[in-house]
Chain A
Amino acid sequence: MLDKLKIPDRHFLHDGHSLRSWLLTKDHKRIAIMYLMSISVMFFIGGLFAVGIRFELATPQGDFVSADTYNKFFTMHGVIMVFFFLIPSIPAVLGNFLIPPMIGAKDLAFPRINLLSLYIYWIGGFVTLYAMIAGGVDTGWTFYTPYSAAGSNTHVVPTAIGIFIAGFSSILTGLNFIVPIHRMRAPGMTWFRLPLFVWAHYATSLVQVLGTPVIAITIVMLFVERAFGFGIFDPARGGDPVLFQHLFWFYSHPAVYIMILPALGVTSELVSTFSRKTIFGYSFVAFSSLAIAIFGFIVWAHHMFVAGISTYAAMVFSFLSFSVAIPSAVKVFNWTATLYKGAISFETPMLYAYGFMGLFAIGGLTGLFLATLGLDVHMHDTYFVVAHFHYIMVGGAIMGYLGGLHFWWPKMTGRMYSEFFSRVSAIMVFVGFNITFFPQFVVGYLGMPRRYHSYPDEMQVLNVMSSAGATVLGLGYVLPVIYFLYSLKYGKVAGPNPWGASGLEWHMQSPPLTENFVEVPEVINEPYEYEHAVVKETHHV
């Protein structure tokens, strides 16, 4: 059976080989591939800074780099990872590639705008990298005033411009998902037949479209203050630095959901596919995505409990913050219930899904500690917070991203990667991640503040554990690059549906045609009906 499979002659990767055919493409799949390459570069640049950070923190003294350099390291790590890797990651790569086929469309609504968003991303990326090469920026990725407006003498303005530009890329991606999901679904593809991946991206897009403009205007205000000497946030000119924090977190808290919601969508697909069983409580999982997106906008000031907001406001925001916990919990419970009486197998994507569930659960539960007022006063801005959001952003979003990439890689390239090495890498990532970040919860409760270049001696053992774990984690991230590239040429041919999955995208050939479908498909099945899935077991370890 294996011998019969071969890569089809005609597919989107063969539709022109010139550079021009890539740079001027309007094909959402090619744009997704270019995004994949771009964000991978950014991921490894951001990762280098993380290496620098963990290296410095291996000893309590500030001996590896100077304090200024260290401050630039964590700032650039945050800026690049948040704005140039995590926010575009799943939406711009997997979402771009998969949303049109999942809803049965030939392309996104505005292909040219889709390409434009990639160019905008590149421009924003280049401006930020320029700022980095020119000397870097040391304000922390949060850009709190008045330090960013008046205190720092590093390259705040170019970095802010880079982020501002990249924001438009994010808005255009979101806009380009909302429109086709509303207007371009195939016949029979009702809202409640949409894959949960699409629901998650719909919710994500809402956040991108509603939140990003607020950070854009905040950056504009910071820009005029720093560049022209306007007074808006500067207390020396009657301004209020806390207002900056309010506006900043109005976007930047929901931005966490831009990162995690798509990963939740991926996990729903993976859990269902690899237990060959419809998702438990489809509509609850679908609506919990929307609930997370909307509730995400009413909790921002929990980042500011000790920043000088009123006691009353702190209580209101603490109360509201717990509202996000419920839909998140509902998702985890539904995945667990989905496994019940399934037919479960543990290919690499499922390993990532399992890892995701564990790490996301820990990340979410530690969020409860931070939403609780009395505890947050102690934990705010300590390593507990650092560990918590890395559990969500790395343990959650990146595990989801890698899981999705391993799941759809055969669809994107038509070939399988090495199952052995991918399992090794999945396990290394999971183990390495926990060794890196779990000690940070402990050291955080001990009181170690974040963004510290040096720290008290008694905290060294935990920090060394963290640095050691980061080595394993880093190797786990490098491995996929190798076997993915190897698979492009030598991988086994995958066929259209190597996993026996149920979504519309698996009805396409692998790699798909430029126009995705030969004919507009008509959807007659409910989602995740494995009884009707095109089962082609082509894949063996």
Chain B
Amino acid sequence: MSAEHAHARESHGAGHVSPISLYVTIFLALMVLTAVTVGAAFVNLGQFNFLVAMVIAVFKASLVVWYFMHVKYQSRLTKLTVATGLFFLAILLGLMLVDYGSKGFVPMPPPIDSESVIGGSPAAR
């Protein structure tokens, strides 16, 4: 048994039983945060609307991952796995924005042939 293996086993807490009160608290927190998200969406914060919504969503997701999914009590390897997913997602989004961000979002491409889906004015149909 490798050292890491043994370590993982010791710190492994899949058997950790969380109290019901914790689960209920998390549930209530999630509901409140949902309400906050909806509320915040009706306030004009300009660019920050999106940021606020995402920060709340990330926070909610973290609560679920951390408590409902027991990552808090899991081995470092599990935490690393979660982090790996987020890291590579960040690479995908980040490097794609290197392109889209630097070429600017070009004007909406118009269809070229007249028989395309849009045709003239849809109101005319």
| Inter-chain contact total with CB atoms closer than 8 Å | 61
The A298-344 residues at the B interface (CB cut-off 8 A) are 298, 300-301, 309-313, 316-317
User: Are B77's CB and A246's CB within 8 A?
Assistant: no
* A residues lining the B interface (CB < 8 Å): 182-183, 185, 187, 189-191, 210, 214, 231, 235-240, 246, 250, 297-298, 300-301, 309-313, 316-317
User: Are A191's CB and B2's CB within 8 A?
Assistant: yes
Question: B95: which of A185, A187, A237, A298 is its contact (CB, 8 Å)?
Answer: A298
* A181 to B113 alpha-carbon distance, docked (Å): 56
Question: A189: which of B2, B8, B92 is its contact (CB, 8 Å)?
Answer: B2
A185-B5 contact given A236-B117, A310-B102, A313-B102, CB 8 Å threshold: yes
Q: Which residues of B contact A313 (CB under 8 A)?
A: 98-99, 102-103
Most buried by A among B8, B92, B111: B92
User: Are A309's CB and B103's CB within 8 A?
Assistant: yes
Number of interface residues of B (CB under 8 A): 26
A301-B95 contact given A183-B5, A187-B1, A210-B84, CB 8 Å threshold: yes
Is B120 part of the contact surface with A, judged by Cβ < 8 Å?
no
* A190 to B7 alpha-carbon distance, docked (Å): 13
A297-B111 contact given A236-B117, A312-B98, CB 8 Å threshold: no
Nearest CB of chain A from residue B20's CB, rounded to whole Å: 31
Q: Which residues of B contact A182 (CB under 8 A)?
A: 4-5, 77
10 A-B pairs within 8 Å (CB atoms) are namely A185-B1, A187-B1, A189-B2, A210-B85, A236-B113, A236-B117, A298-B91, A311-B102, A312-B98, A316-B98
Question: B91: which of A189, A297, A311 is its contact (CB, 8 Å)?
Answer: A297
Is B109 part of the contact surface with A, judged by Cβ < 8 Å?
yes
Is B124 part of the contact surface with A, judged by Cβ < 8 Å?
no
User: Are B2's CB and A185's CB within 8 A?
Assistant: yes
The B108-125 residues at the A interface (CB cut-off 8 A) are 108-109, 111-113, 116-118
* A117 to B114 alpha-carbon distance, docked (Å): 47
Is B42 part of the contact surface with A, judged by Cβ < 8 Å?
no
Nearest CB of chain B from residue A297's CB, rounded to whole Å: 6
Q: Which residues of A contact B84 (CB under 8 A)?
A: 210
User: Are A246's CB and B96's CB within 8 A?
Assistant: yes
Question: B99: which of A183, A185, A297, A310 is its contact (CB, 8 Å)?
Answer: A310
Is B43 part of the contact surface with A, judged by Cβ < 8 Å?
no
Q: Which residues of A contact B24 (CB under 8 A)?
A: none
Nearest CB of chain B from residue A377's CB, rounded to whole Å: 17
Q: Which residues of A contact B116 (CB under 8 A)?
A: 236
Nearest CB of chain A from residue B111's CB, rounded to whole Å: 4
Q: Which residues of B contact A300 (CB under 8 A)?
A: 95
A190-B3 contact given A301-B99, A313-B103, CB 8 Å threshold: yes
User: Are A237's CB and B117's CB within 8 A?
Assistant: yes
Shortest Cβ distance from A229 into B: residue? B117
Shortest Cβ distance from B88 into A: residue? A210
* A189 to B2 alpha-carbon distance, docked (Å): 6
